[in-house]
Chains A and B, each alone.
Chain A
Amino acid sequence: MDMALDLVAGIGRATLSLLRATGAIALFALSGLSHIVRPPFYGRVFWGSFLETGFFSLPVVALTALFSGGVIALQSYTGFAQYHAQSAIAGIVVLAVTRELGPVLAGLMVAGRVGAAMAAQIGTMRVTDQIDALDTLSTNPMKYLVAPRLLAGLVALPLLVLIADVLGVAGGFLVAVVKLDFSATAYITATLNALKAEDVTVGLVKAALFGFLITLMGCYHGYNSKGGAEGVGSATTSAVVAASILLLAFDYLITDLFFSH
């Protein structure tokens, strides 16, 4: 009896703290968004975060996309070999890359690189009073630190995913032509036939949302970190874990919304 009560109380406490955290993150996100659209704008900070999020993530994202496109081609070949493999494989690669692999893998890579770096940087600024110092120098830290980073994530991820889409399809093409001895022109024709604008668009919408979620988690956990170097370390971990889980959850929701009917 007592144990049952303890259990219920424990679940209740966990639920409450989850709700509290969700509320706090939602308020943080709203405040960050509202600062994106109100001047002053910090173009310099935006540009720095944009380069960090987009440009410097390019190598990692490119390699990831290239290999996963190739893997999809290989895997589906073993499954479809008996039947008319040629056209099916090209179609599967395009579909998988534009709808799922492009945005999700790019998102996870950027979460590990950029989300962690943002949490560490903003967290260090918090525990060394730099955020308080901003306040005393007529600069709103939400506007100066958070808003440009959110915007950078929102803009950079779709661009990255566009590149990931191209490279993922290229990875499938390379495997199909070089290893499986398919005809290059036939593969390209099949690819173009399977390519749908809607798939690409929804993939880019996902990417924008993921970019926002990743930078939001990095900023939120960094901004609220406390307790010296250890606090910054755990903020970094939380940012990456939370961003990855949220990303996959929202991926499911969006897929359900657009593709399930």
Chain B
Amino acid sequence: MTDAPPKIRIRDLHKSFGSKKVLDGVTLDVAQGTSCVIIGGSGSGKSVLLRCLLGLMTPDSGVIEIDGENILSAPASRRERLRGEIGMLFQNAALFDSLPVWENVTFGLLARKHLSRRNARTHAGEILTQVGLDPSVGDLYPAELSGGMQKRVGLARAIAARPDMLFFDEPTTGLDPIMGAVIDGLIVNCVKTLGSTAIAITHDMASAQRIGDQAAMLYQGRLIWQGAASTLMESGNPYVDQFTHGRREGPITMELRR
């Protein structure tokens, strides 16, 4: 708890699709250089929240500030520039299937001319090694990779430019437990060494505790609980407890049945 303005500040964010309210007043602060994990049931709007932060979706109302600047009212060019400071891992990796892996990984660097095409292949190999892939994978096409490998290439692409902010949509889903732990370590490393601010969505409680400083649970369009990630398993909140322990009985099931 410091006096510096949070890196990311979200206030009363609303987003509906037709009559379906997905976000119904989300409020969240993420401090510079910390990471926040968001948990919540399938379809609760976690991915929608990240899309709003990225500016890929426009919320119906609310405020999103980055470094104290309201990005929703910023001009398009400014928002485009801000988006360049964010590395994003999409839930389904979203690799460019017409390009080889090495070009996927270095795409952002090449686009910003931070790298010449000549050096890109070698550089991609270095980043691939960081996410536990052999540099030779760089010459394959995304369709030739397993789901877990695609995820890791997506992660490599997200961190390649060493961005200021990192968003991960289920970074470890589809990975074996050991690789999951390796990726978690990598994410923590990015936050620690690069000083990046991270938001991660996950369904894996062990991973949530490894990655997160803070944690929050999204339920029925609101963040119904926020606290230290280490207290996730003993939050004292009946909704969170049921969710993290995967119990069938509890307030969440009851409401689904009604």
Contact = CB atoms under 8 A, between A and B. Distances in A.
Interface string B73-109: 0000000100110111011101111100000000110
Contacts of B54: 132, 135-136
Nearest to A42: B111
Contacts of A132: 51, 54, 56, 90, 94
Contact of A130 (B84, B86, B94): B94
Interface string B118-161: 00000000000000000000000000000000000000010000
B20 interface: no
A139 interface: yes
A130 B157 CA distance: 13
B26 to A, nearest CB: 20
Given A121-B98, A130-B97, A138 B92 contact: no
Chain B contact patch, size range: 20 to 34
A139 B107 contact: yes
Contacts of A137: 107-108, 111, 157
Nearest to B56: A132
Interface string A124-138: 110011101111111
Contacts of A136: 54, 56, 83, 86-88, 108
Given A138-B83, A138-B111, A139-B111, A133 B88 contact: yes
Contact of A129 (B55, B90, B98, B157): B90
Contacts of B92: 128-129
B95 A130 contact: yes
Contacts of A121: 98
Q: Which of A137, A138, A139 counts the most B-chain CB atoms under 10 A from its CB?
A: A137
B257 interface: no
A133 B111 contact: no
Interface in B148-207: 157
B112 interface: yes
Contact of A128 (B56, B94, B107, B112): B94
Interface in B49-65: 51, 54-56
Contact of B94 (A129, A138, A139, A140): A129
Contacts of A135: 54-56, 83
Interface in A126-178: 128-130, 132-140
A10 B78 CA distance: 43
Interface string B218-240: 00000000000000000000000
Contact of B90 (A125, A133, A139): A133
A121 B98 CA distance: 9
A134 B56 CA distance: 11
8 contacts: A132-B94, A133-B96, A136-B83, A136-B88, A137-B107, A137-B111, A138-B108, A138-B112
The 4 closest A-B pairs by CB, nearest first: A129-B94, A137-B108, A138-B84, A133-B94
